[in-house]
Amino acid sequence: MDWLKQTRLTRLLTALLSTVAPLTHAEAQTFAKVGAVNPNAMGTPPGGADRTLTIGSSIVVKERVRTNDAGSTQLLFPDQSTLNLGSNSDMVIDEYFYNPEAKSGSMVASATKGALRYVGGQISHTSGVTITTPSAVLGIRGGIATILLALSESIAQLDPNLRGRVGNELVINHFGTVTIKNNVSQVTLRPGEATAIASVNQPIALPFKVTDASLQQILRTQTSRSGQSGGFGGRGSAPPGLVIPSPPGFGTANLANPARPPGTDPLGYTSVFSAGAGVSRNKFQTNQVQSVVPQAQSAMKAKTTSPPSYP
């Protein structure tokens, strides 16, 4: 937690000093760590020189992060969200603030090119995350989203919905809600939906679904390629025979069928039997009363025919 405490302390000091001095140090706040990296990925802090990112590198606010043709990286944020950057990406985290006590904050990023996948954490669960691209502004609530800047010919040809959209920005919502706005339109994506944006002044395409073949290619742009090891052991390529042993029981989860027809939840199931019993009980309780009517009639008859009693 040291890195987070440092961030909050720095922020506090910055706020206190801001009344007497310009915000010279505010931009140097550390907010993210590099969790994996394939060369070459570069970071350029505001006002600083280019530096090569390695596992454990700190990213400061407004630092520009770029990857080259073979590069990719994953950034870890204090709210437990992650951002995968694929090859030939270029982006800046313009603003990041997270309050762990309130489990809320804000994140604003701008991306100009490449392939990104954002997997949400506490911030996107509460207030939402904003990512600006050349053609639109994305609001992510939830949420997991993939962004391609821009769509390549090799991916577009795999998908009828993507043909004719080469060069467009592609946004896929995997979970949660993604709202995309530009100068002329707004589209909200539900989980599993995608859209394409040609430019900031053209209407955003109506939601569609991407094929598995195109998703396969998109996924490959956001992780290690064959022979890469994400910086494991400080190496640029996978060490021979690298094995990551998983613990016992890992990867053996049985998945429940998400379809819930009536009667499959415990309350619905038991209430069916109760409803059946309720119907027959109503009828039988009426029958029981009717069964004592002769007794009641006899009792009344006996009462009316018996001689009056005197105290």
Partner 1 sequence: MRSEARLPRFFAGRGRPGRILAGVLALWLANGGGASAQDAATEQQRLYDQMVRQPTNYDATFAFVKVATERGDYEAAIGALERLLFYNHDQPLVKYELGSLYFRLGSYALAKRYFLEALATPDVDAATKARIEASLQIVDKQSQPSRFSGFAQTGLRYQSNASFAPSSNTVRFNGADFGLPPTNGGKSDTNWFGLVGLSHDYDLQDQNGTVLETRFIGYLTQQFRLQDLDVGLFDVSFGPRLSVASEWIPGATIKPYVVGGSAWVDGARYLSSGGAGLSFAIPTRWDATLEPNVEWRRVNYVTGNPVLAEFNSGDWLTVALGSSLPINDRFKLDARAYYRRGDSSMNFQSFNQWAIEGALSYEFAPPLASIPQNWTISPFARLIRTSFDAPNPFIDPATTNAVNEWVAGITLDAPITTSFGIATTIQYDRSYSPLPNYRQNNLSILAGPTARF
Instruction: Report 93-122 residues binding partner 1 (CB under 8 A).
Output: 100, 117, 119-121
Q: Using the rule CB under 8 A, which residue among 188, 198, 199, 203 binds partner 1?
A: 188
Interacting positions 10-69 with partner 1 (CB under 8 A): 33-36, 38, 55-56
Segment (H or E) for 153: helix 153-156
Task: State yes or no: residue 301 binds partner 1 (CB under 8 A).
Answer: no
Interacting positions 225-284 with partner 1 (CB under 8 A): 225-226, 228-233, 238, 242-247, 250-277, 279-284
> What does DSSP say about strands 137-149 and 186-189: parallel, antiparallel, or unpaired?
unpaired
Report in angstroms how near the CB of residue 91 gets to partner 1 at its nearest: 17
Query: Is the torsion defined by CA of 91, 95, 99, 102 positive or negative?
Result: negative
Q: Using the rule CB under 8 A, which residue among 80, 110, 132, 152 binds partner 1?
A: 80
Q: For partner 1, which stretch binds (CB under 8 A), given 7-15, 18-26, 129-137, 209-217?
A: 209-217
- The neighbour count for residue 307, using CB atoms within 10 Å, is 5
Nearest to 138 by CA among 169, 91, 106, 180: 180
Q: Using the rule CB under 8 A, which residue among 1, 49, 102, 302 binds partner 1?
A: 1
Strand runs (DSSP E) across the chain, as ranges?
Answer: 30-38, 41-44, 51-52, 58-60, 64-67, 72-76, 82-85, 90-99, 104-119, 129-132, 137-149, 169-181, 186-189, 194-197
- Count of residues in contact with partner 1, rule CB under 8 A: 108
Report in angstroms how near the CB of residue 154 gets to partner 1 at its nearest: 17
CA–centroid distance for 165 within its chain: 26
Task: State yes or no: residue 207 binds partner 1 (CB under 8 A).
Answer: yes
Interacting positions 144-183 with partner 1 (CB under 8 A): 144, 174-177, 179
**What radius of gyration do the chain's Cα atoms show?**
32
